[in-house]
Amino acid sequence: MAQTEVTLDREDSAPAAQLDVAIVGGGLGGLYALHRLRGLGLKARVYEAGSGVGGTWFWNRYPGARCDIESLEYSYSFSEELQNDWRWPERYATQPVILEYINHVADRFDLRRDVQLNTRIASAAYERTAGRWTLKTRDGEVITARFCVMATGNLSTPRVPDFRGIDSFQGKWYHTGLWPDEGVDFTGKRVGIIGTGSTAVQMIPLVAQQAKHLYVFQRTANFSLPARNAPMDSERERRYRTTYTQRVKEARETGFGVTGYPIPTQSALAVSEEERRRKYEELWEAGGTIGFLNSYNDFLVDEKANETAAEFVREKIRSIVRDPTVAELLAPKDHPIGSKRLCADTNYYETYNRDNVTLVDVKSAPIQEITPRGLRTARQEYELDAIAFATGFDAMTGALREIDIRGGGGEILAEKWAAGPRTYLGLMVAGFPNLFVITGPGSPGVKSQMIHSIEQHVDWITDCLAHLQAKGFASIEPNQEAEDHWVAHVNEVADGTLYPRANSWYVGANIPGKPRVFMPYVGGVAAYRRKCDEVAAQGYKGFVLGR
Ligand code: N01
């Protein structure tokens, strides 16, 4: 595969950039893809809708936004120098620090000259005879490329529920995923936050400190564990650095791509209540969510085992929140712990002890409309000066479905996925040659340390393109049978767990009308990596390679 000269064509009088690889999205995935694919001598370019790089970490600027995976784990591993040079100031990094890190990476590896900002891709169509993708931007620019890498993110399509009257609201409203650059000052304001997912759990304690009064509109209570954030422990950091290479290797053998937690071998039901309690107590004190997920080997597969941890956390909630009615409302009872994304917080439950915070149950009395003065539930109207929608995203498929993607036979991806996403290994889609997806549906991406999965995907794609290059192939696409088997396998693995029991964004439950399909692969990153490597070692088994 020789490097394509950069030439400019004219199509509809617009110049068409001719590339080897068009990468859609300039977040952690797109930037790393650019770095690796350049290394193959390919002409690659990133198209990013935002006015800066960073993806999720560019857009999600709401108060309290930070990563709930520890900083020492949540970073690129491909460059030991980068890892050694960068200093994380806290146990969990804030959004501004992570964004600074991503910008540092963009500069350090000279990525910016091939990143085109303020550019939203509207369509992508594959032409079989030419063997090229043609992408069009919303501004009408045309790009052609032999390969297309969708690094569009899983939580990048913010969703505001379709509430009646939203345009009549006389205050200001915001979605957490599109937070204003300049921030928002809630001082002296009556604020409503809708939602109690990971985002709201991070934001609520901080907004409560600023607002005159905060109303939290909760439809489903969520399990949250204390993060126990703190300034970086320099001794811990030093130890981490000396064992860094080993840790990266170890992460590959885990379920979630995070080290420091022994892989559980024991059932929660095989130990005494006393012992279990001691363990949960230790994990609660240690902070973070990964310890709980790795507490017992049946935590996420056996209802009774799971209930022991769920009840432990409910008791904690009852012991923290002074008003028993509020505590009961905050104690989740309708889904197994961990079947929705476990939240990590700083003073979340404690915040409900403040006089200026009211928890409103919108399950028993749903939100009916946004009014000029605030918000009306089936029970009453709340007067508000500002509303923050922490209502989540059209997760996993939203960003791809927003682009008009057409495969080799003219098939439309959004139509193919109408009953739920279908991929082979989460990496490619039958009928859509030379189109790769990073950490998409059918992969463990969102159920893992994202950067771990991003690197694994991009490395796999890079090896794949190197293979095509070496063997003189021009195209690759999964065969239908391999895709069908993978989709069945993803479902089978999920059905053996408690994950599908929750109405989560993993099953698209937060989007009215979205088909209920469990989208991530939950067999763990170790099993998944083995499968991907095996497929490659067998000459890309399940794929059709064309010349
Ligand atoms: O979104 P969510 P999020 N009326 O979908 C409620 C990642 N993340 O932005 O559960 C009333 O989880 C909805 O209620 P229900 C992380 O992977 C990571 O919080 O559908 N309420 C729910 O409470 C996370 O999982 C970090 O009943 C409505 C909330 O809005 C993912 O992003 C930090 C409603 C949405 O919760 C998404 O989290 C933050 C309606 N009509 C986020 N519609 C890290 O630390 C929705 N809701 C890395």
Q: Is residue 381 within 8 Å of residue 375, measured between CB atoms?
A: yes
Tell me, in angstroms, the distance from the centre of ligand 1 to residue 451's CA: 21
Tell me, in angstroms, the distance from the centre of ligand 1 to residue 257's CA: 23
Residue 272: both structure tokens together: 């005494």
Closest residue (by CA) to atom 18 of ligand 1?
198
pLDDT by residue (tens digit) across 361-405? 999 999 999 999 999 999 999 999 999 999 999 999 999 999 999
Closest residue (by CA) to atom 44 of ligand 1?
67
Q: Is residue 193 within 8 Å of residue 207, measured between CB atoms?
A: yes
Residue 182 has pLDDT above 90, yes or no: yes
Q: Rounded mean pLDDT of the chain?
A: 95
Range picked from 2-6, 145-149, 244-248 for highest mean pLDDT: 145-149
Residue 152 has pLDDT above 60, yes or no: yes
Tell me, in angstroms, the distance from the centre of ligand 1 to residue 32's CA: 27
Cα 394 from Cα 188, distance rounded (Å):
33
Q: Is residue 144 within 8 Å of residue 5, measured between CB atoms?
A: no
Closest residue (by CA) to atom 1 of ligand 1?
392
Determine the atom of ligand 1 nearest the C-alpha atom of 176: 9
Amino acid, single-letter form, for residue 329: L
Substitution candidate for ligand 1 out of 341, 369, 448, 453 with most atoms within 8 A of CB: 341
Residue 78 has pLDDT above 90, yes or no: yes
Q: Is residue 200 within 8 Å of residue 218, measured between CB atoms?
A: no
Substitution candidate for ligand 1 out of 159, 176, 391, 507 with most atoms within 8 A of CB: 391
Residue 433 has pLDDT above 70, yes or no: yes
Backbone angles phi and psi of 401, in degrees to 5: -70, -25
**Average pLDDT, stretch 271-300?**
97
Q: What percent of the chain has pLDDT over 90?
A: 95
Ramachandran category for residue 114: left, alpha or beta (phi over 0 → left; psi -120 to 50 → alpha) = alpha
Residue 105: both structure tokens together: 């990476």
Cα 20 from Cα 23, distance rounded (Å):
10
Reported confidence tier of residue 119, pLDDT bands at 50, 70, 90: very high
Reported confidence tier of residue 5, pLDDT bands at 50, 70, 90: very low
Substitution candidate for ligand 1 out of 71, 173, 199, 394 with most atoms within 8 A of CB: 199
Tell me, in angstroms, the distance from the centre of ligand 1 to residue 485's CA: 31
Residue 100: both structure tokens together: 């600074």
Q: Is residue 493 within 8 Å of residue 521, measured between CB atoms?
A: yes
Reported confidence tier of residue 328, pLDDT bands at 50, 70, 90: very high
pLDDT by residue (tens digit) across 169-180? 999 999 999 999
The pLDDT of residue 17 is: 83
Tell me, in angstroms, the distance from the centre of ligand 1 to residue 43's CA: 38
Least confident piece of the model among 4-8, 116-120, 429-433: 4-8
Determine the atom of ligand 1 nearest the C-alpha atom of 195: 30
The pLDDT of residue 503 is: 94
Cα 537 from Cα 2, distance rounded (Å):
24
Determine the atom of ligand 1 nearest the C-alpha atom of 200: 19
Cα 188 from Cα 191, distance rounded (Å):
9
The pLDDT of residue 15 is: 58
Determine the atom of ligand 1 nearest the C-alpha atom of 219: 27
Tell me, in angstroms, the distance from the centre of ligand 1 to residue 502's CA: 13
Closest residue (by CA) to atom 36 of ligand 1?
197
The pLDDT of residue 7 is: 35
Cβ partners under 8 Å of residue 148, min gap 6: 21, 22, 23, 24, 124, 133, 135, 434, 435, 436
Length of the chain: 547
Residue 8 has pLDDT above 80, yes or no: no
Least confident piece of the model among 115-119, 261-265, 465-469: 261-265
pLDDT by residue (tens digit) across 476-495? 999 999 999 999 999 999 99
The pLDDT of residue 475 is: 98
**Locate tokens 């909760």: which residue?**
218
> CA-based angle 123:124:129, to the nearest 5?
145
List pocket residues of ligand 1, CB cut-off 6 Å: 67-68, 155, 161, 176, 194-200, 202, 217, 219-220, 341, 362, 367, 390-392, 505, 510
Residue 12 has pLDDT above 90, yes or no: no
CA distance readout (Å), 398 to 88, 153, 158, 524: 32, 9, 9, 23
pLDDT by residue (tens digit) across 507-543? 999 999 999 999 999 999 999 999 999 999 999 999 9
Residue 13 has pLDDT above 70, yes or no: no
Reported confidence tier of residue 3, pLDDT bands at 50, 70, 90: very low
Tell me, in angstroms, the distance from the centre of ligand 1 to residue 77's CA: 29
Tell me, in angstroms, the distance from the centre of ligand 1 to residue 137's CA: 30
Reported confidence tier of residue 54, pLDDT bands at 50, 70, 90: very high
